[in-house]
Amino acid sequence: MASSTVLVWFRNDLRLHDHEPLYRAWRSGLAIAAVYCYDPRQFGHTAQGFPKTGAWRANFLRQGVQNLAENLQKIGNKLLVTTGLPEQVIPQIAERVNAKTVYYHREVTQEELDVERSLIKELAIFSIQAEGYWGSTLYHPEDLPFFIQDLPDLFTNFRKSVEKKKISIRPCFSTPSPLPPSPDAQLTLTPPPSEFFPAATMDSRSVLAFQGGETAGLARLQSYFWDGDRLKSYKETRNGMVGADYSSKFSPWLALGCLSPRFIYQEVKRYEQERISNDSTYWLIFELMWRDFFRFVAQKYGNRLFDRGGLLNKKLPWQQDQVRFELWRSGQTGYPLVDANMQELNLTGFMSNRGRQNVASFLCKNLGIDWRWGAEWFESCLIDYDVCSNWGNWNYTAGIGNDARDFRYFNIPKQSQQYDPQGDYLRYWLPELKNLPGEKIHQPWLLSATEQKQWGVQLGVDYPRPCVDFHQSVEARRKIEQVGVIT
């Protein structure tokens, strides 16, 4: 009989560094079968009929899997790539390669948990064990000063609690090298169909030429932290919207596990020792803590994260207005800050954090449209889609999630002037407004007929008139929610 094997099932953890399942398999001394399985369900459609994994993320994922295969090959192993339902395919491969155990990283939301549970049942038929490990957050849930069911509902309370208790971040697992070769087994692997990866040419205006995979993720960290020395000013620049380096842009690689959050933390600490320790270095860790928080929230609340009433089970009326939703989705609302950001999302799969907050606020607080439609569109488009962060943030914006105030909205004309004072970002994505001076571009609906002619933009022809009155629409929404505002 062939020697025993450990099967390592890769999921949203496409890396070799800080990978506990791979590390444990390596330390076992047994042969290692590394497997990635494309799940057709992830390439289906959302409730509103959007592609569940849109073109940008699909191709980023493909690149990540290819890079994982290349990196495994460099250290002596081979990635077995196949397609099918993991709970059916993984046990079949495990049985063929004489695996006694399957190691994998655990997830927290329903679809992924269902797969895990089904997989464990199927493996038991072959007397194969399954061992799941935690590897997606900065803090390990077992180290938190509370049980998940007692997680504070406000981020500030969560942050203060872990900081007060001085909860330490566990060290990264070593990158194994070399690995034993893959077991020699005659396997029939099903390659993913080409329709999983629709052709898509990213707009040349994209903030970054995003390339999937651990190698590109590590290169981005090297570029942002060390070569460009950008971390020292992260807090001051992070609300930008134009260019590659106003923020770290780590999120796509974090979302697919090409970068470990603990490795980023480790590098921040090294930067603080070798370069500078300031508010900016702390703030990047602060943002990683937000990411942790949303993942733990998803653990605590389960499917309430996706319910119409959200985490608070709040009964708010939401419009099912397809016409206005299409204006929002296509960037034709008549509000330049909203439209420019939606154009960027649709053409590149990315949008700044500041942009996401504003467009989500407009959908919920001005148009009053079902927030889940927006969450699904983000799920489809975003190259850095993370189920917990995306749906957690949409709960927050819709006023049905983790928020200290019952009602808050973004004053979009004011935000536009504050964060893009000269209108550079707006002109970048809305060339029809390129001739408007900075003080005029933020509210083109105020242009007189003479000004429209002067600057070559005709409202309702070259650029749409506002689909709603901003302040009236907010006030209408305010009547059903309590007062609170972000300006």
pLDDT score at 90: 98
342 touches 374 (CB < 8 A): no
Please tell me whether the peptide bond between 178 and the residue prior to it is cis, using omega within 30 degrees of 0: yes
Residue that the structure tokens 């893009």 belong to = 420
Give pLDDT tens digits for 354-374: 999 999 999 999 999 999 999
pLDDT score at 481: 80
Reported as a pLDDT band with limits 50, 70 and 90, residue 479 is: confident
Give pLDDT tens digits for 101-140: 999 999 999 999 999 999 999 999 999 999 999 999 999 9
C-alpha 15/C-alpha 215 separation (Å) is 9
Percent of the chain with pLDDT over 70: 98
Residue that the structure tokens 């057709």 belong to = 40
pLDDT score at 94: 97
- What is the mean pLDDT of the segment spanning 193-222? 96
Reported as a pLDDT band with limits 50, 70 and 90, residue 343 is: very high
Who contacts 164 (Cβ-Cβ below 8 Å, separation ≥6)? none
pLDDT score at 407: 82
For the four alpha carbons of 302, 304, 305 and 306, in that order, the dihedral sign comes to positive
**Res. 386: pLDDT tops 80:** yes
Give pLDDT tens digits for 239-259: 999 999 999 999 999 999 999
- Stated length of the chain: 487
SS3 410: strand
**Res. 194: pLDDT tops 50:** yes
pLDDT score at 482: 65
Mean model confidence pLDDT for the chain: 96
- What is the mean pLDDT of the segment spanning 329-353? 98
What does each C-alpha distance from 6 to 53, 73, 185, 293 come to in angstroms?
A: 30, 17, 14, 32
Q: Taking Cα atoms as reference points, which of 383, 400, 382 lies closest to residue 392?
A: 400
Write down the pTM of the prediction.
Answer: 0.96
HEC-encoded secondary structure of 426-442: HHHHCHHHCCCCHHHHC
392 touches 294 (CB < 8 A): yes
pLDDT score at 197: 97
pLDDT score at 2: 59
- What is the mean pLDDT of the segment spanning 74-97? 97
